[in-house]
């Protein structure tokens, strides 16, 4: 039997938020770590699945960051950031970049390219971006970035996120 839930928004804020989160969670995404450098040189990063490609000409991509995120001031001040696309073996890294009150970069060697944003090696893809446009939408800030450098290595299995859980993609044998 179908477990489908239909809800008209506006009935009750808490109920809406849970239903909306559950419904959004039905959209499978990849998992990234967004990185930047704070004014004092500290490396800053957070796990994010809101990464989306926007445009090929010019090359634009976006990420949405919670207005309560501690990374927000560094993202705003730097005006540049990197999107590091994780692969299936990166689940621990994805969890590491959510943790509070720890050095999320402990033991991690990072590269720098053109802007100084930390680049995580061994990722499925990296996009170095300069902020093209940033605006607030509800409880998140949307950063649209112009991609200035990229690297990709499709010879990996992706890390995916669905309904609040990390998962792997099942590929049928041909
Ligand atoms: C799979 C996954 C995806 C996430 N996606 C986002 C996102 O797109 N935007 C965001 O602001 N937080 C996202 N988060 C939550 C942040 O990673 C988390 O709140 C982090 O602690 C924020 O760190 P900060 O406050 O130091 O910036 C995600 C968490 C997980 C586990």
The residues spanned by each domain of the chain are 30-161
Quick one: pLDDT at residue 159? 98
Architecture of domain 30-161: Roll (2.30)
Residue scoring higher pLDDT (6 or 38): 38
Q: Which residues contact 45 (CB under 8 A, 6 or more apart)?
A: 33, 34, 35, 36, 71, 84, 97, 104, 105, 118
Pair of tokens at residue 96: 């590491």
DSSP SS3 for 90: helix
Q: For ligand 1, atom 6, which residue shows the shortest CA distance?
A: 48
From the CA of 156, how far away is ligand 1's center (Å)? 23
Q: Residue range 7-18: average pLDDT?
A: 76
Intra-chain end-to-end CA distance of the chain, in Å: 32
Confidence class for position 12, pLDDT limits 50, 70, 90: low
Q: Do 158 and 124 meet the contact criterion of CB atoms below 8 Å apart?
A: yes
The response to whether residue 75 sits with its C-beta less than 6 Å from ligand 1 reads: no
pTM exceeds 0.85: yes
Examine the pLDDT at 149 and tell me if it is beyond 70.
Answer: yes
Q: For ligand 1, atom 4, which residue shows the shortest CA distance?
A: 48
From the CA of 45, how far away is ligand 1's center (Å)? 9
Quick one: pLDDT at residue 11? 62
Quick one: pLDDT at residue 82? 99
Instruction: Give the pLDDT confidence of 99-137 residue by residue, as tens digits.
Output: 999 999 999 999 999 999 999 999 999 999 999 999 999
Examine the pLDDT at 14 and tell me if it is beyond 80.
Answer: no
* Whether the bond into 58 is cis, omega within 30 of 0: yes
Quick one: pLDDT at residue 2? 84
């Amino acid at each position: 039997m179908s477990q489908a839930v239909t809800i008209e928004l506006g009935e009750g804020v808490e109920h809406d938020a849970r239903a909306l989160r559950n419904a959004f969670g039905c959209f499978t995404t990849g998992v990234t770590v967004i990185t930047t450098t704070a004014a004092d040189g500290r490396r800053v990063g957070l796990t994010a699945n809101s990464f989306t490609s926007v445009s090929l000409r010019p090359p634009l991509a976006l990420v949405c960051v919670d207005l309560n995120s501690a990374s927000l001031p560094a993202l705003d001040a730097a005006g540049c950031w990197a999107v590091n696309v994780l692969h299936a073996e990166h689940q621990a890294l994805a969890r590491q970049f959510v943790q509070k009150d720890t050095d999320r970069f402990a033991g991690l060697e990072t590269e720098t390219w053109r802007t100084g944003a930390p680049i995580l090696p061994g990722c499925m893809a990296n996009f170095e971006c300069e902020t093209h446009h940033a605006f607030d939408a509800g409880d998140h800030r949307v950063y649209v970035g112009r991609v200035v450098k990229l690297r990709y290595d499709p010879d990996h299995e992706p890390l995916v996120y669905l309904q609040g859980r990390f998962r792997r993609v099942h590929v049928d044998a041909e």
